[in-house]
Structure 1
Amino acid sequence: MPLFLIERNFAEKIELTVDGVTSISKINGEEGVNWLFSFLSADKRKSYCLYEATNPDAIREAARRANVPADVIIEVSQFRPELMLAAAA
């Protein structure tokens, strides 16, 4: 399944709760997207999230339903230097 990096910009500091994560995960599942992990900026106003999804529109719809921004969506591929180095050893 394709991988996507999503940049989200928040007007206020984001405070994640178990209930919030559960709600987002439920919506994502209904839209066929899988949230893998996220990085949160030091000021807690920007996040970068890695998702698996069939297409960017599924991510946009899940974000709309969860009432979270999806300002930039970029399809990416995975590069794991440690695997490359291990194979070369």
Structure 2
Amino acid sequence: MPRFVIEREIPSLGKWTPQDLQAASRTSCGVLQAMGPQVQWVHSYVTDDKMYCIYQAADEELVREHARRGGFPANSVARVRCVIDPSTAEAVPA
């Protein structure tokens, strides 16, 4: 299934309490459960004013539909084409 990076602009997100983050997570999980297995949340990175979420989904529209149903912003949705890391520097080109 394709992987996507979602950028969510949420002012003062870095100041949310653990309870606030838990409530958002519960909302997201409830929407995902209702939508079925064609869209899955992998994990998210929380910064001061943004959240970067990694999702697996059959297509971009499912990611955007999750945001609409959950009441979350989805300011940017980008399909991941490949993943690189420090070990990529050591790989032998194919």
TM-score normalised by the chain length of structure 1: 0.77
Tell me which of 77, 82, 86 is aligned to 2:81.
77
Aligned residue in 2 for 1:13: 12
Deviation at 1:80, TM superposition (A): 4.6
Letter of the 1:71 partner, please give it: N
Q: Could you give the per-residue CA deviations for residues 37-87 of structure 1, whole angstroms, max 9, x where no partner exists?
A: 11111x2x21111000011111111101111100100000342536655x7
Q: Percent identity?
A: 29
Q: Aligned-pair RMSD on alpha carbons?
A: 2.0
TM-score normalised by the chain length of structure 2: 0.73
Counterparts of 1:30 and 1:77, CA distance in 2: 28
1:2-41 mapped onto 2 (5 Å cutoff):
2-10=2-10, 12-14=11-13, 15=16, 16-31=20-35, 32-41=38-47
Aligned residues: 84
Letter of the 1:30 partner, please give it: A
Corresponding residue SS for 2:23:
helix
Point out where structure 1 has 5 or more consecutive residues left out of the alignment: none
Point out where structure 2 has 5 or more consecutive residues left out of the alignment: none
